[in-house]
Chains A and B, each alone.
Chain A
């Protein structure tokens, strides 16, 4: 049974960089034909795809966030990570990591990140 777990600071100051890690267990992050993605949900609002990384290392980002987002993978630790730079209060959200092919079959439980001084 694949499990994903987000980790990282729950509070980030404005203008700083948000950094989260997703640890994958019960399966290999190097599995072919899967993407590993990040999705966020501001409090009381809908879902927004942030970006994804393919098992080969190719990355795909939401055009509205592309200039601030970096997703990377560490196969030795079976983890992938999200960095979002120059954050503002608008980046306050629950951040989910997920495994997907086309659709998103497996999700982490989510972690709330608040941007505040």
Chain B
């Protein structure tokens, strides 16, 4: 099974900061990766699909990059509403799906 390792597990940042979260796959997954934002008590929300494609309605300060085994989610200028937990999800083989462990973005 494909394992997804996300880092860091948590980070503290200030409004306006540039934030980067990394996800590494245990084997190559092409660009079959998405990023999700989850706020307390809410369902996750898809931000990025196919590693770098912005889901409709998602602010352009969110961007994704990478292919193969290493992927990055970047928030260019952190906003108050961006404090949340972020997860990556691989959908490489359409038979099993694996989430990363999550990264909690907290206010510094």
Contacts and interface: CB of A to CB of B under 8 A. Distances in A.
Interface of A: 37, 46-49, 52, 60, 62-63, 96, 98, 100, 102-105, 107-110
Given A47-B87, A63-B1, A102-B34, A107 B43 contact: yes
In this complex, the interface size class of chain B, counting residues with CB under 8 Å from chain A, is 20 to 34
A49 B49 contact: no
Contacts, number: 54
Query: Could you tell me the dominant secondary structure of chain B's interface residues?
Result: loop
A100 B91 CA distance: 10
Contact of B95 (A48, A60, A105): A60
Contacts of A63: 1, 96
Contact of A103 (B34, B38, B42): B34
A60 B94 CA distance: 9
Interface in B70-94: 87, 89, 91, 94
Interface in B45-68: 45-46, 49-50, 55
Nearest to A63: B1
Contacts of A107: 43-45
